[in-house]
Every structure is written in structure tokens, then in C-alpha cells.
Amino acid sequence: MQRVLWITGAGSGMGQAVARSASHAGWTVVLSGRRPEALRDTASSLPGPVLELPLDVRDGDAVRAARARVVAEFGRIDALVLAAGRNTPRRQWDDQDVEEFHDVVAVNLGAVVTVLDAALPDLRERSGVAVVISSYAGWAFHPNAGIAYSASKSALSSVVRTLNSGEAAHGVRATHLCPGDVDTDFLDQRPQVPDATARGRMLTADDVARTVQFVLDSPAHVRIDELVVSPVTPASRR
């Protein structure tokens, strides 16, 4: 039986690139995100078995139902890649909307815990691995990332550490993955959207997927607690 990977944010960007790389590496992939057509698009390019489960990660009942569906369909969940995330252009103290603050935190932090909690029994059974896609802003303070984004992503470090310390006895492993700028649709949420030249200097979604694949394929006795991946740019351009 092929190993089963459940990906959130699988309809675009890094989640989609991870689906491609894992499917080519022989994993069965389960794709979640809100837009069914985006999941369909990801699924259509994959060589191996795939299940599309559209959902909003903020909806705990939908997450738990999806987990049950994966187990009913494949009998196991070996790995999670949690890429669903959001930011907002209005992100500083002088322009934020506090309702939006709570929503960014709900997607970037609350929903990560919801999915991990739902799939934990399955990860325990398989010495499973979870890759939490955080951010460079979750590793080192970056003022431009905004209040909600910085707070929610840096909290993921604690989520991963508590999981790794609390669940080591069951063989569960988690990675706090902190990418720098990646050329995806995500950048459209910035107050100043980067142009093609700036995007050309960034990481690609495939660069991050290659890193994730390394974690997924590492043996069960290896835990990779944290990884920081940055584009190499001359200091003057940063």
C-alpha cells in the first residue's frame, strides 16, 4: 500500500508543487483547499492516486470529516503538509482590521492545530511526519509581514516543538519549514505587489517542494525540527 499524504492549500503554489513531487515519488495524495476547481487542476497533472477533498480549514467539522474519509478510503495517513495560509494587505497597526487579524490567525495557526489534532491518531500509527509551512517571518522578525501574519507564523514554532516533545514516544515528527520569498499568488496580498523582476529573484514553489520531499522521504528515526530556505540575493536588493 502506498504511503498517504494529506496536503492543505493544495490548489496552488507550494501545496500544488508538493502534490506533484510527492505523487511522482510514489505517494498517494489527498488534496484540500476551498476551491474545488483549483484542486481539480492540481489533480489533473498527477501520475498517481489522488483524492480531492475541498474544505475550509477553519471548519473543524469539515476537517474531521475529511480525515475520516481519507481513512475510510485508504486506511492510513502517513504525512501532512500544511500549506493553507493567508495574509492581508492591511497588516500594520495604522491600517489593520481586527476582524481580519482574527481570520489570519484562524487560518495560519488555529487551522494548523485543528488538522494536526484530527490526524494525530493516524500519525501515531505510522510514525508519521507533519510539515508545517510557516515563513521566514515565523523564524526571524520581519516588520513588513504584518502583525497577524508574524504572530501566527511565529507561533507555529511552538506548535511544532510541543508536538515533537509530546509525541516523540509515538514516533510522530514535525518540521517547522520557514521559506523566504516564493513566487506564488500569495504575493498578490502584499500592499505593494512585486513585479516580474523581483519575482524572478525569489524561490519557486518547486524549490520548496524539493525541500518538503526530503523531509517526507527521511527515515522514521529522523526528525527535522526546523528548516529555513531563502533565495540568494545580493544584500543591496533585500
154 dihedral zone (left: phi>0; alpha: psi -120 to 50; beta):
alpha
* Interface region with ligand NAP, contact rule CB under 6 A, candidates 72-80, 88-96, 119-127, 175-183: 175-183
The set of cell numbers assigned to 170 is 509515538
Does residue 214 contact residue 207 with C-beta atoms inside 8 Å?
A: no
Region near ligand NAP per CB under 6 A, out of 23-31, 33-41, 64-72, 115-123: 33-41
Touching ligand NAP, residues 186-205 (CB under 6 A)? 186-187, 205
Per CB under 6 A, 225 contacts ligand NAP: no
Among 123-131, 161-169, 185-193, 218-226, the segment contacting ligand NAP (CB under 6 A):
185-193
Calpha distance 172→223 (Å, rounded): 9
CA 77 to chain centre: 16
Among 35, 40, 102, 238, binds ligand NAP (CB under 6 A): 35
Nearest to 226 by CA among 134, 143, 107, 120: 134
Measured from the CB of residue 89, what is the shortest distance to ligand NAP in angstroms?
Answer: 14
Give the per-residue contact string, 80-99, with ligand NAP (x = CB under 6 A; - = no).
---xxxx-------------
Angle at 182 between CA 179 and CA 184, to 5 degrees: 135
Binders of ligand NAP in range 98-127 (CB under 6 A): 107
Give least dist CB 170 to ligand NAP, A.
26
Contact between 128 and 79 under an 8 Å Cβ cutoff? The reply is yes
Stretch that binds ligand NAP, among 9-17, 121-129, 159-167, 192-200 (CB under 6 A): 9-17
